[in-house]
Amino acid sequence: MHCVDKAPSFELEVELLSGPNCLMPSIRRQEPTSGKALPRTDSELENLFERLSKSTFRSRFHLDAAERQTVERLGLDVLRRHAHEIISKRLAKAVIANDGRQTPMRGYPVFKAQHATGLCCRGCMKKWYGIEKGRELTPQEIAWAADLIVRWIARDIRRFVSRPNAASQKTKTKTLAAGSMRQRELDLL
């Protein structure tokens, strides 16, 4: 599985319908691409999650039962640390030989969150956040990405808790007890 091979045809279609983006290079080029442009405030992040929800490719990613249990078991602080390590090791270098193939599509909450948020490879980071390829990520960008990944995970857990039937019902999964995820932790995100 490959986020670049798999996605383009239909992501292209969807994004053609959804307004200014990389398909409109003249507009895109004028946008600042420094860290300042990254969505950080509540309203910027809401806006981002809204845009992600309109991408057919991004919006189909949700944590499955096993991944939710991993979240429950490890907690968000540990996942943030892992996200930081994963981004540092797999995405932060200036040149990445296997860019577009370095992030598995499932099996660990951080991986899924990376695809869901466009933080799966440098190609997608460029497309979604204007972060140039061919240079190292800054420590601030890595920390920002790890934070965004954890936000997405917390949102996806909340979504499941409020709409358990929206997730796969194939098996009678042990429902993640909402209370067992420290509510305070979720509320912070």
* Contact footprint for Zn ion (CB under 5 A): 3, 120-121, 124
- When the beta carbons of 119 and 154 are compared against Zn ion, the nearer one is 119
- When the beta carbons of 3 and 153 are compared against Zn ion, the nearer one is 3
Angle at 184 between CA 181 and CA 186, to 5 degrees: 60
Nearest partner of 55 among 122, 146, 117, judged by Cα: 117
DSSP output for 83-123? HHHHHHHHT-SS--TTTTSSS-SSSSHHHHHHHHHT-SSHH
- When the beta carbons of 121 and 181 are compared against Zn ion, the nearer one is 121
- When the beta carbons of 133 and 182 are compared against Zn ion, the nearer one is 133
Which residues lie closer than 8 Å to 23 by C-beta, 6 or more apart?
A: 12, 15, 16
| Amino acid in the structure at residue 96 | I
Rg (CA), the chain: 16
